[in-house]
Each structure stands twice: as C-alpha cells, then as structure tokens.
C-alpha cells in the first residue's frame, strides 16, 4: 500500500482556504483547511476557523471533556448518518503534532465537492 502522503488528494504541507469538505452523506463540514498531520494513528486534516459548526454537536456522553483537565480533546460528531468525528484539541500529545485550539478530522471520513474522496485507495 502507498504511504499516506501519496494517497491523499490534498496537499499535506500547505492548506487551502476554499476547498469544501463534506461527509459521505453530503453534509457540509468545513471550507478550507490548514494542513494534514500524519502521526502514529494515521492522517488527520487540520482545521482552525474553517469548521461549519452548525453541522456538529457534542454527544451527551462526551460533554465532560470540556471541563476535564485530563482530556486531550473534545469530541464532536456530524449531524448526519456518516457520524464523522471531529476532535477539538485541548492538550498536546506525543504521537502527533496536533495543535491546541485546532480541530482534526480523518480524511477517510471526508469527500470534496460531494464526490471526490480525500484519500485514494
């Protein structure tokens, strides 16, 4: 299998301010991204102010993460059957270069222009 950086249909090192991301159920999740982080747990698309927040909610079982100082992230889910997970990073980790205050989604859960996958086989 090709390495992640060769399978991604978006730039790893530089973002894009206008690229629109959707769930596989065609829910608009974000417009633009800052970069892709490839860590021990695979690739994640990094977002700052590009999130379409009305497309997400915090599940009741995850609300505690906002107030728990030990939590590394707050988990959001998309408001569609695709159930896309968005991580809002609260603390740094040793296995990837995630930034506090940024958001991350797996490119495996995202499509561009409603049809083009972010990751190729």
**Domain locations along the chain:** 4-117
Contact 82, 23 (CB under 8 A): yes
Strand partners, 78: 56
Instruction: Work out the pLDDT band at 72, boundaries 50, 70, 90.
Output: very high
pTM of the model: 0.93
DSSP letter assigned to residue 4: H
Kindly indicate the confidence band of residue 5, based on its pLDDT and cuts at 50, 70 and 90.
confident
Query: What element of type H or E holds 43?
Result: strand 42-47
Averaged pLDDT, 99-105: 98
């Amino acid at each position: 299998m090709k390495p992640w950086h060769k399978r991604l249909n978006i730039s790893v090192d530089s973002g894009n301010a206008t690229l629109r991301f959707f769930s596989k159920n065609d829910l608009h999740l974000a417009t633009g991204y800052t970069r892709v982080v490839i860590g021990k747990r695979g690739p994640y698309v990094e977002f700052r102010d590009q999130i379409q927040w009305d497309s997400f909610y915090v599940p009741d079982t995850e609300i505690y993460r906002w107030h728990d100082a030990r939590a590394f992230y707050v988990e959001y889910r998309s408001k569609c059957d695709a159930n896309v997970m968005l991580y809002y990073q609260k603390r740094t980790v040793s296995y990837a270069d995630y930034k506090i205050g940024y958001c991350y989604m797996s490119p495996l859960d995202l499509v561009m222009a409603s049809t083009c996958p972010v990751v190729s086989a």
